[in-house]
Amino acid sequence: MNETIMLKDEALIPEGLSRCSLFKFSLWIFILLLVVGWGLLAAFLIFWKGLNQTNMNDYFGFALWITFDLAVIALGAGAFFTGFLTYLWGKKELKAVINFAVMIGFICYSGAILILTLDIGQPLRSWYGFWHPNVHSMLTEVMFCITLYLGVLMIEYAPLVLENRKINANAFAHHFAHNLHQLMFIFAGTGTFLSFFHQGSLGGMFGVMFARPFAFRGGFFIWPWTFFLFIASAIASGPAFTVLITSLTQKVTGRKLVKPEVLALMGKIAGSLLIVYLILKFADTIYWAVVNLPARGLSFMGQYQGPYGFWLVVAELGIFGILPAIMLMNAKLRMRPGWLALASLLSCAGVVFNRFIFTVVSLALPVMPFDRLVTYWPSWQEWAPTIAFLAYGALIISLSYRYLPVFPQERELNE
Amino acid sequence: MKELSGGKELYGMVIDLDKCTGCGACAVACMAENNLSFREDETDKLRTNTWMRLYRLNNGQHFPGTRVAYLPRPCMHCQHTPCVSVCPVNATQLDEKGIVSQIYPRCIGCRYCVAACPYHARYFHWWDPVYPKGLENYLNPDVSLAMRGVVNKCTFCNHRYQRAKDKAFLEERRDLKEGEYITACSEACPTRAIIFGNLKDPNSQVFRLSKSPRTFRLLEKLGSQPKVYYLTSQDWIRRQGDNYLKNEAARKVS
């Protein structure tokens, strides 16, 4: 009797896979929705009353949200880079994680765009970037590329949604998904092209600010060095983030989802790229400290003041840079899931730190000698949408994990 | 200095810091002239709309060696602008007479220009403009109001230029005479510390003063080429006009 009135969703769950009870799942979704609701409440206040609801000011025009956007876009680079390695570089073993990497990318980019709409003073004018574009602005390039790339991610995510058992029973959906799969190398290529440019332009945004000595860098042709550094750090941390979230999902679900050697390969790729990035970053930092800053009458140590002290450099380049690079390059550690996850976490924290430093410290430092250092702490209306984004990500992952065949190796690994 | 056109006009300002008493008349005049709104509680100075802001400088010495000076800071109207090229929607432009403008209805409020400006001369409108009852009758009809959520800044009272040009046109003249177009701050300054005019007119006072050995510009090393010149005979003030390494000497007056 009970069975007949209880709601069941087995018909939607991929064949041969076991999932938790619908009740447990619903409870989890309910908690996530509460957090999302909290973020929506803050978003409503921002749209209604304006950005005075935040703790931003005329010194901190960029703050938590821009740090967050830059960080999640860098971490979301796992999608395009794994796609590039899988479809264009020929690393077929990465097909085991490509679905998940694309999904993480989709979450990161859609979340970043949603937060960006909150972050501009006139959200209803956000389309002006397309209507009155200033081709000299790095931000214009970012606006074009992230919007287009979100479209690419949606196309890449679509076949997975169409592979849901119920949807796939429809002949059109089945063939459409199949054909999209066949064409995926084109979208992987498009995504790679778009991503390279907007990851770079996000760095370029800071590097071109020639009147902000903390951020300004020289460069090649129209691109400041930060353009290339942001690409390098994104492709290093993106795969690490995919490994981290996969490890976390395995821990939460208690199931093996991806073969350890595939994750170890991702870790090795992330580690190798992190080393390349760190070499470039050290070279850039030394040149900046020895040439750029003194030319403007500034010293290297003078750039680290108050709470934004030298510890940021030690944390960013040491604890969250060199340390994870060593860990990821160690073959034995890579094969141990806990260590691999820790190294990935440290690497991801490094890119978050880097984006934080470029966003917040660049603006906190006074340029006029008689001006003062300002510090900033976000208001709850800024924290809420940011935390709600994490819940939104967990929501998409939870729903996809339950109802879509995200991990092709799951059945084999749990038999 | 880079010139955008072969035009006859390039407006700039000279502020004599040795004459400035820090009375704040320039800031008040600016707010009244440009319809800048204010709130009941303006204690948060990081959100106050002060297009003309007064900085208090001191020489860092104890009594009796203490010296104080005031530095009025309008927008520098840089000729190599840090802010214009970064705007994604072309909402701010450097015009042919050297004025950096802001187009309120086009600004999306991304604040990239605010971040790029080292002088903090750009302000975001955190609130809708509200005026005390009755004050709306005294608003300047020549100046449009900025809505909430956009960036605004000193325009060198661009509307006064339009007015002067209209007058000249009616009098069948093409060029403006010296003093026909001046900003509200320079008009209000009781000690004539703020001089405004055409930097390309060799007969103008601003041209002559800008060539004085007493001049310096704020943060010249950054290469933004400000069109606001400061005058002072005091080396300690000049040294605060830019960043210098410990053993690096600033250019002295004499």
pLDDT tens readout for residues A145-174:
889 999 999 998 999 999 888 898 899 999
Residues B83-121: b if buried by 16+ CB within 10 A, e if exposed = bbbbbbbbbbebbebbbbebebebbbbbbbbbbbbbbbb
Q: How far is it, in rounded angstroms, from Cα B82 to Cα B52?
A: 19
Tell me if B46 and A58 make a contact (CB, 8 A cut-off).
yes
Chain A residue closest to B224 (CA)?
A211
Q: Is the pLDDT of residue A252 over 80?
A: yes
Q: Which ipTM value was assigned to this complex?
A: 0.91
For B115, the closest of A120, A143, A363 (CB atoms) is A363
- Per residue in A35-87, pLDDT tens? 999 999 999 999 999 999 999 999 999 999 999 999 999 999 888 888 888 88
Write down the residue that tokens 């909402």 correspond to.
B91
Average pLDDT over residues B54-80: 96
Q: Can you give the pLDDT at residue A327?
A: 96
For B243, the closest of A51, A121, A298 (CB atoms) is A298
Q: How far is it, in rounded angstroms, from Cα B171 to Cα A159?
A: 72
Write down the residue that tokens 């208690």 correspond to.
A254
Q: How far is it, in rounded angstroms, from Cα B195 to Cα B188?
A: 11
Chain A residue numbers touching B106 (CB-CB < 8 A): 125, 128, 132
Dihedral class, residue B232 (left if φ above 0, else alpha if ψ from -120 to 50, else beta): beta
Average pLDDT over residues B221-232: 97
Instruction: Report residue A89: phi and psi, to 5°.
Output: -90, -20
Tell me if A122 and B107 make a contact (CB, 8 A cut-off).
yes
Average pLDDT over residues A14-27: 89
Q: Can you give the pLDDT at residue A188?
A: 85
Confidence of residue B254 (pLDDT cuts 50, 70, 90): low
Find out whether the peptide bond into B64 is cis, omega within 30 degrees of 0: yes
Confidence of residue A365 (pLDDT cuts 50, 70, 90): very high
Q: Can you give the pLDDT at residue A194?
A: 86
Instruction: Tabulate helix, strand, coil % of chain A (nearest 5).
Output: 75, 0, 25
Q: How far is A60 from chain B (nearest CA, A)?
A: 7
Chain A residue closest to B70 (CA)?
A370
Q: How far is it, in rounded angstroms, from Cα B15 to Cα B132?
A: 32
Tell me if A58 and B122 make a contact (CB, 8 A cut-off).
yes
Domain boundaries A28-366+373-413, corresponding CATH code? 1.20.1630.10
Q: Can you give the pLDDT at residue A254?
A: 92
Chain A residue numbers touching B151 (CB-CB < 8 A): 121
Q: Can you give the pLDDT at residue A1?
A: 44
Q: How far is it, in rounded angstroms, from Cα B81 to Cα A211?
A: 9
Tell me if B86 and A209 make a contact (CB, 8 A cut-off).
yes
Chain A residue closest to B114 (CA)?
A61
What chain B holds in terms of domains, given with CATH numbers, is: 11-239 (3.30.70.20)
Tell me if A119 and B110 make a contact (CB, 8 A cut-off).
yes
Q: C-alpha angle B94/B114/A142, rounded to 5°?
A: 85
Q: Is the pLDDT of residue B6 over 80?
A: no
Q: Can you give the pLDDT at residue B3?
A: 47
Chain A residue numbers touching B110 (CB-CB < 8 A): 119-121, 139
Give yes or no for a contact between A45 and A379, defined as CB atoms under 8 angstroms apart: no
Give yes or no for a contact between A355 and A74, defined as CB atoms under 8 angstroms apart: yes
Instruction: Output the CA–CA distances (angstroms, integers) from residue A49 to A111, A240, A286, in the order listed.
Output: 22, 39, 45
Average pLDDT over residues A169-182: 90
Nearest CA among B212, B220, B226, B195 for reference residue B254 = B212
Q: How much of chain A, in percent, has pLDDT values that exceed 70?
A: 98
From the CA atom positions of chain B, what is the Rg in Å? Answer: 18
Chain A residue closest to B90 (CA)?
A134
Per the model's pLDDT, the better-predicted residue between A310 and A18 turns out to be: A310
A136-145, A178-187, A341-350 — which one is most confidently predicted on average? A341-350
> What pTM, to 2 d.p., does this model score?
0.93
Mean pLDDT of all residues in chain A? 92
For A57, the closest of B46, B107, B246 (CB atoms) is B46
Q: How far is it, in rounded angstroms, from Cα A227 to Cα B83?
A: 19
- Pairing outcome for strands B215-216 and B228-231: antiparallel
Q: How far is it, in rounded angstroms, from Cα A92 to Cα A88?
A: 10
Nearest CA among A409, A407, A395 for reference residue A106 = A395
Q: Is B70 helix (H, G, I), strand (E, B) or coil?
A: strand
For A132, the closest of B89, B114, B244 (CB atoms) is B89
Q: Which residue type is seen at A372?
A: R
Tell me if B127 and A295 make a contact (CB, 8 A cut-off).
no
Chain A residue numbers touching B245 (CB-CB < 8 A): 294, 297-299
Average pLDDT over residues A226-238: 94
Tell me if A369 and B242 make a contact (CB, 8 A cut-off).
yes
Confidence of residue A115 (pLDDT cuts 50, 70, 90): very high
Confidence of residue A197 (pLDDT cuts 50, 70, 90): confident
Chain A residue closest to B249 (CA)?
A297
Q: Can you give the pLDDT at residue A5?
A: 54
Give Cβ neighbours of residue A232 (< 8 Å, ≥ 6 apart): A273, A276, A277, A280, A281
Tell me if A58 and B224 make a contact (CB, 8 A cut-off).
no
Give yes or no for a contact between B83 and B116, defined as CB atoms under 8 angstroms apart: yes
Tell me if B109 and A51 make a contact (CB, 8 A cut-off).
yes
- Per residue in B18-51, pLDDT tens? 999 999 999 999 999 999 998 889 899 999 999 9
For B149, the closest of A121, A367, A368 (CB atoms) is A121
Q: Is the pLDDT of residue B2 over 80?
A: no
Average pLDDT over residues A300-314: 94
Q: Is the pLDDT of residue B4 over 80?
A: no
Q: Can you give the pLDDT at residue B253?
A: 67
Q: Is the pLDDT of residue A18 over 90?
A: no
Q: Can you give the pLDDT at residue A136?
A: 92
For B222, the closest of A61, A136, A211 (CB atoms) is A211
Q: Which residue type is seen at A150?
A: L
Chain B residue closest to A364 (CA)?
B115
In a 10 Å sphere around its CB, with 0-12 CB exposed, 13-18 middle and 19+ buried, how is residue B246 labelled? exposed
- Per residue in B142-179, pLDDT tens? 999 889 999 999 999 999 999 999 999 999 999 999 99
Mean pLDDT of all residues in chain B? 93
In a 10 Å sphere around its CB, with 0-12 CB exposed, 13-18 middle and 19+ buried, how is residue B236 labelled? middle
